Protein backbone atom coordinates (compact mmCIF):
# COMPACT_ATOMS: atom_id res chain seq x y z
CA UNK A 1 0.00 0.00 0.00
CA UNK A 2 1.36 3.41 -0.98
CA UNK A 3 1.46 6.37 1.39
CA UNK A 4 -1.45 8.01 -0.40
CA UNK A 5 -3.47 4.80 -0.39
CA UNK A 6 -2.89 4.41 3.35
CA UNK A 7 -4.06 7.94 4.06
CA UNK A 8 -7.06 7.72 1.74
CA UNK A 9 -8.17 4.50 3.43
CA UNK A 10 -8.59 6.32 6.76
CA UNK A 11 -11.77 8.09 7.86
CA UNK A 12 -11.56 11.91 8.13
CA UNK A 13 -9.97 13.09 11.37
CA UNK A 14 -12.95 15.24 12.26
CA UNK A 15 -15.24 12.20 11.97
CA UNK A 16 -12.93 10.19 14.21
CA UNK A 17 -12.95 12.93 16.85
CA UNK A 18 -16.73 13.19 16.75
CA UNK A 19 -17.14 9.42 17.02
CA UNK A 20 -14.95 9.19 20.11
CA UNK A 21 -15.96 12.47 21.74
CA UNK A 22 -12.36 13.62 21.63
CA UNK A 23 -12.78 17.35 22.20
CA UNK A 24 -9.46 18.98 23.13
CA UNK A 25 -8.88 19.26 26.87
CA UNK A 26 -7.05 22.29 28.20
CA UNK A 27 -5.98 20.28 31.26
CA UNK A 28 -4.01 17.97 28.95
CA UNK A 29 -2.50 20.81 26.91
CA UNK A 30 -4.27 19.54 23.78
CA UNK A 31 -4.49 21.46 20.50
CA UNK A 32 -5.24 19.35 17.43
CA UNK A 33 -3.93 19.69 13.86
CA UNK A 34 -6.05 18.46 10.96
CA UNK A 35 -4.15 19.74 7.91
CA UNK A 36 -2.41 16.67 6.47
CA UNK A 37 -0.16 18.84 4.27
CA UNK A 38 1.11 20.59 7.39
CA UNK A 39 1.43 17.34 9.30
CA UNK A 40 3.38 15.78 6.43
CA UNK A 41 5.67 18.81 6.38
CA UNK A 42 6.48 18.24 10.06
CA UNK A 43 7.35 14.63 9.31
CA UNK A 44 9.51 15.56 6.30
CA UNK A 45 11.46 17.94 8.54
CA UNK A 46 12.51 14.96 10.65
CA UNK A 47 14.19 13.26 7.69
CA UNK A 48 13.78 9.77 6.20
CA UNK A 49 11.83 7.35 8.39
CA UNK A 50 12.46 4.07 6.57
CA UNK A 51 14.22 1.69 8.93
CA UNK A 52 13.57 4.00 11.89
CA UNK A 53 11.61 3.73 15.10
CA UNK A 54 9.64 6.90 15.81
CA UNK A 55 8.48 8.03 19.23
CA UNK A 56 5.45 10.33 19.47
CA UNK A 57 4.14 11.99 22.63
CA UNK A 58 0.50 13.01 22.95
CA UNK A 59 -0.83 11.84 19.56
CA UNK A 60 -4.43 12.69 20.43
CA UNK A 61 -6.70 11.90 17.47
CA UNK A 62 -3.72 10.69 15.45
CA UNK A 63 -3.18 13.28 12.72
CA UNK A 64 0.60 13.34 13.09
CA UNK A 65 0.51 9.59 13.74
CA UNK A 66 -1.06 9.06 10.31
CA UNK A 67 1.62 11.19 8.66
CA UNK A 68 4.43 9.29 10.40
CA UNK A 69 3.04 5.89 9.38
CA UNK A 70 2.42 7.11 5.83
CA UNK A 71 6.05 8.27 5.61
CA UNK A 72 7.22 4.69 6.08
CA UNK A 73 8.33 4.48 9.70
CA UNK A 74 9.30 0.90 10.46
CA UNK A 75 7.83 1.19 13.95
CA UNK A 76 5.96 3.91 15.80
CA UNK A 77 5.68 4.05 19.58
CA UNK A 78 3.13 6.56 20.84
CA UNK A 79 2.38 7.48 24.44
CA UNK A 80 -1.07 8.85 25.25
CA UNK A 81 -2.74 9.36 28.63
CA UNK A 82 -6.17 10.35 27.27
CA UNK A 83 -8.10 7.09 27.26
CA UNK A 84 -10.62 8.50 24.78
CA UNK A 85 -7.90 8.29 22.11
CA UNK A 86 -6.80 4.73 22.79
CA UNK A 87 -9.32 3.02 20.47
CA UNK A 88 -8.26 5.36 17.65
CA UNK A 89 -4.68 4.15 17.87
CA UNK A 90 -5.68 0.52 18.18
CA UNK A 91 -7.47 0.96 14.85
CA UNK A 92 -4.46 2.71 13.32
CA UNK A 93 -2.25 -0.16 14.44
CA UNK A 94 -4.45 -2.65 12.59
CA UNK A 95 -4.61 -0.52 9.46
CA UNK A 96 -0.81 -0.04 9.44
CA UNK A 97 -0.04 -3.74 9.68
CA UNK A 98 0.94 -3.73 13.33
CA UNK A 99 3.53 -0.94 13.15
CA UNK A 100 2.02 1.17 15.95
CA UNK A 101 2.58 0.41 19.64
CA UNK A 102 0.57 2.44 22.14
CA UNK A 103 1.77 3.18 25.66
CA UNK A 104 -1.19 4.15 27.81
CA UNK A 105 0.03 6.63 30.38
CA UNK A 106 2.07 9.70 31.27
CA UNK A 107 5.06 10.47 29.02
CA UNK A 108 6.95 11.89 32.00
CA UNK A 109 6.97 8.41 33.52
CA UNK A 110 8.16 6.51 30.44
CA UNK A 111 11.70 5.14 30.22
CA UNK A 112 12.11 5.83 26.51
CA UNK A 113 15.44 4.08 26.04
CA UNK A 114 13.93 0.94 27.54
CA UNK A 115 10.71 0.83 25.51
CA UNK A 116 12.21 1.98 22.21
CA UNK A 117 15.14 -0.42 22.08
CA UNK A 118 18.09 -0.05 19.72
CA UNK A 119 18.38 1.24 16.20
CA UNK A 120 17.89 4.70 14.75
CA UNK A 121 15.19 6.56 16.68
CA UNK A 122 13.50 9.83 15.79
CA UNK A 123 11.22 11.68 18.17
CA UNK A 124 8.44 13.55 16.37
CA UNK A 125 5.69 15.22 18.37
CA UNK A 126 3.24 18.05 18.67
CA UNK A 127 4.08 18.21 22.35
CA UNK A 128 1.35 18.99 24.87
CA UNK A 129 2.08 22.53 26.07
CA UNK A 130 2.04 21.54 29.73
CA UNK A 131 4.94 19.04 29.48
CA UNK A 132 6.82 20.11 26.35
CA UNK A 133 9.72 21.99 27.92
CA UNK A 134 10.16 19.43 30.69
CA UNK A 135 10.42 16.60 28.16
CA UNK A 136 12.88 18.53 26.02
CA UNK A 137 15.16 19.23 28.98
CA UNK A 138 15.05 15.55 29.90
CA UNK A 139 16.08 14.53 26.37
CA UNK A 140 18.85 17.14 26.31
CA UNK A 141 20.29 16.23 29.71
CA UNK A 142 20.67 12.48 29.37
CA UNK A 143 23.69 11.20 31.32
CA UNK A 144 25.14 9.45 28.26
CA UNK A 145 25.88 11.04 24.89
CA UNK A 146 25.25 10.49 21.99
CA UNK A 147 21.64 10.01 23.14
CA UNK A 148 19.25 7.21 22.25
CA UNK A 149 17.57 9.52 19.71
CA UNK A 150 19.03 10.58 16.37
CA UNK A 151 16.80 13.65 16.01
CA UNK A 152 14.02 15.60 17.71
CA UNK A 153 11.33 17.29 15.62
CA UNK A 154 9.01 19.02 18.05
CA UNK A 155 6.22 21.56 18.08
CA UNK A 156 6.44 24.29 20.73
CA UNK A 157 4.97 27.66 21.41
CA UNK A 158 7.02 30.10 19.32
CA UNK A 159 8.41 31.82 22.42
CA UNK A 160 9.79 28.49 23.67
CA UNK A 161 11.26 27.71 20.26
CA UNK A 162 13.03 31.06 20.23
CA UNK A 163 14.49 30.37 23.68
CA UNK A 164 15.91 27.06 22.42
CA UNK A 165 17.84 28.63 19.52
CA UNK A 166 18.63 32.00 21.17
CA UNK A 167 22.10 33.53 21.03
CA UNK A 168 23.95 35.53 23.74
CA UNK A 169 23.03 39.16 24.28
CA UNK A 170 19.37 38.56 23.49
CA UNK A 171 16.40 38.55 25.85
CA UNK A 172 15.50 34.96 24.87
CA UNK A 173 18.94 33.59 25.75
CA UNK A 174 18.95 31.52 28.91
CA UNK A 175 19.47 28.15 30.50
CA UNK A 176 17.41 26.32 27.86
CA UNK A 177 19.56 27.71 25.04
CA UNK A 178 22.79 26.66 26.75
CA UNK A 179 21.54 23.14 27.43
CA UNK A 180 20.22 22.81 23.87
CA UNK A 181 23.35 24.14 22.17
CA UNK A 182 25.98 22.52 24.37
CA UNK A 183 25.87 19.20 22.51
CA UNK A 184 23.13 19.57 19.90
CA UNK A 185 22.24 21.69 16.88
CA UNK A 186 18.75 23.20 17.17
CA UNK A 187 17.00 25.21 14.48
CA UNK A 188 13.50 26.54 13.93
CA UNK A 189 12.19 24.79 10.81
CA UNK A 190 9.01 26.83 10.35
CA UNK A 191 6.23 28.60 12.21
CA UNK A 192 2.64 27.38 12.50
CA UNK A 193 -0.14 29.98 12.85
CA UNK A 194 -2.57 29.60 15.73
CA UNK A 195 -5.46 29.26 13.27
CA UNK A 196 -4.08 25.90 12.13
CA UNK A 197 -5.08 24.32 15.44
CA UNK A 198 -8.39 23.24 16.92
CA UNK A 199 -8.99 24.93 19.26
CA UNK A 200 -6.65 27.79 18.31
CA UNK A 201 -4.09 28.48 21.07
CA UNK A 202 -3.40 32.06 22.11
CA UNK A 203 0.05 32.09 20.51
CA UNK A 204 1.89 31.13 17.33
CA UNK A 205 3.73 27.80 17.37
CA UNK A 206 6.95 26.65 15.73
CA UNK A 207 8.53 23.37 14.73
CA UNK A 208 12.06 22.90 16.09
CA UNK A 209 14.47 20.31 14.68
CA UNK A 210 17.38 19.21 16.87
CA UNK A 211 20.26 16.89 16.04
CA UNK A 212 22.92 15.72 18.52
CA UNK A 213 26.56 16.61 17.93
CA UNK A 214 29.91 16.53 19.72
CA UNK A 215 29.76 18.56 22.95
CA UNK A 216 31.24 22.05 22.84
CA UNK A 217 33.33 20.86 25.79
CA UNK A 218 33.43 17.69 27.84
CA UNK A 219 32.13 18.93 31.19
CA UNK A 220 30.00 17.29 33.88
CA UNK A 221 26.29 17.72 33.15
CA UNK A 222 25.51 18.28 36.83
CA UNK A 223 27.91 21.23 37.01
CA UNK A 224 26.63 22.77 33.79
CA UNK A 225 23.06 22.55 35.08
CA UNK A 226 24.12 24.07 38.40
CA UNK A 227 25.97 27.08 36.99
CA UNK A 228 23.32 27.88 34.38
CA UNK A 229 20.53 27.63 36.96
CA UNK A 230 22.41 29.96 39.31
CA UNK A 231 23.47 32.46 36.66
CA UNK A 232 20.10 32.76 34.96
CA UNK A 233 18.12 32.40 38.17
CA UNK A 234 19.12 36.00 38.94
CA UNK A 235 19.97 37.12 35.42
CA UNK A 236 19.84 40.85 36.19
CA UNK A 237 22.61 40.51 38.73
CA UNK A 238 26.31 40.40 37.96
CA UNK A 239 27.82 36.94 38.03
CA UNK A 240 29.78 37.66 41.21
CA UNK A 241 26.40 37.99 42.92
CA UNK A 242 24.21 35.47 41.10
CA UNK A 243 26.72 32.62 41.45
CA UNK A 244 26.68 32.92 45.25
CA UNK A 245 23.59 30.71 45.17
CA UNK A 246 25.91 27.82 44.29
CA UNK A 247 27.01 27.81 47.92
CA UNK A 248 30.66 28.59 47.23
CA UNK A 249 32.80 31.70 46.80
CA UNK A 250 32.25 32.81 43.17
CA UNK A 251 35.56 34.68 42.95
CA UNK A 252 37.89 31.67 42.50
CA UNK A 253 35.23 30.06 40.29
CA UNK A 254 35.16 33.04 37.94
CA UNK A 255 38.94 33.39 38.00
CA UNK A 256 39.40 29.73 37.08
CA UNK A 257 36.99 30.18 34.17
CA UNK A 258 38.66 33.47 33.15
CA UNK A 259 35.35 35.35 33.30
CA UNK A 260 35.00 38.87 34.79
CA UNK A 261 32.64 38.97 37.75
CA UNK A 262 30.90 42.13 36.60
CA UNK A 263 29.35 40.42 33.57
CA UNK A 264 25.77 39.15 33.47
CA UNK A 265 24.72 35.66 32.42
CA UNK A 266 23.16 36.71 29.12
CA UNK A 267 26.51 37.82 27.64
CA UNK A 268 28.27 34.48 28.16
CA UNK A 269 28.36 32.10 25.20
CA UNK A 270 28.13 28.32 25.54
CA UNK A 271 31.94 27.78 25.70
CA UNK A 272 32.11 30.26 28.58
CA UNK A 273 29.44 28.38 30.49
CA UNK A 274 31.38 25.19 29.85
CA UNK A 275 34.47 26.79 31.41
CA UNK A 276 32.35 27.75 34.42
CA UNK A 277 31.03 24.20 34.67
CA UNK A 278 34.55 22.74 34.50
CA UNK A 279 35.74 25.14 37.21
CA UNK A 280 32.71 24.35 39.35
CA UNK A 281 33.32 20.61 39.05
CA UNK A 282 36.97 21.02 40.04
CA UNK A 283 36.27 23.32 43.00
CA UNK A 284 33.48 21.03 44.21
CA UNK A 285 35.82 18.04 43.96
CA UNK A 286 38.50 19.82 46.02
CA UNK A 287 35.95 20.81 48.66
CA UNK A 288 34.93 17.19 49.07
CA UNK A 289 38.47 15.88 49.15
Summarize pLDDT for 160-197 with one digit per residue, the tens. Answer: 999 999 999 999 999 999 999 999 999 999 999 999 98
- Cβ(239)–Cβ(264) under 8 Å? yes
Runs of H (alpha helix) within 121-206:
132-140, 158-165, 175-182
Q: Is 5 left (phi over 0), alpha (psi -120 to 50) or beta?
A: alpha
| pLDDT one-digit tens code per residue, 89-137 | 999 999 999 999 999 999 999 999 899 998 899 999 998 888 999 999 9
Cα 175 from Cα 214, distance rounded (Å) = 19
Secondary structure of residue 203 in the 3-state scheme: coil
Helix and strand counts by DSSP (H, E) for the chain: 13, 9
Indicate the average pLDDT of the chain. Answer: 93
| pLDDT one-digit tens code per residue, 242-285 | 999 999 999 999 999 999 999 999 999 999 999 999 999 999 98
Cα 150 from Cα 278, distance rounded (Å) = 27
Confidence of residue 24 (pLDDT cuts 50, 70, 90): low
- Cβ(54)–Cβ(104) under 8 Å? no
pLDDT at 43: 98
- Cβ(185)–Cβ(211) under 8 Å? yes
pLDDT at 6: 81
- Cβ(125)–Cβ(58) under 8 Å? yes
Give the least confident one: 144-148, 169-173, 198-202: 198-202
Q: What percent of the chain has pLDDT over 70?
A: 96
Amino acid sequence: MTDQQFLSSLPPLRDVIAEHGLNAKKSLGQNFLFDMNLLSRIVRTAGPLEGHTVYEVGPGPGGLTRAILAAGAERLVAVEMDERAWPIHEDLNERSGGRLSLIRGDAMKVNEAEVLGTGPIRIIANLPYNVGTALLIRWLTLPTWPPFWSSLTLMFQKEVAERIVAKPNTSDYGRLAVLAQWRARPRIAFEVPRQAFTPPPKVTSAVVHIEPCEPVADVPLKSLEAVTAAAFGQRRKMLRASLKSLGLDPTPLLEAADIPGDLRAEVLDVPAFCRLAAAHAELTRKDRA
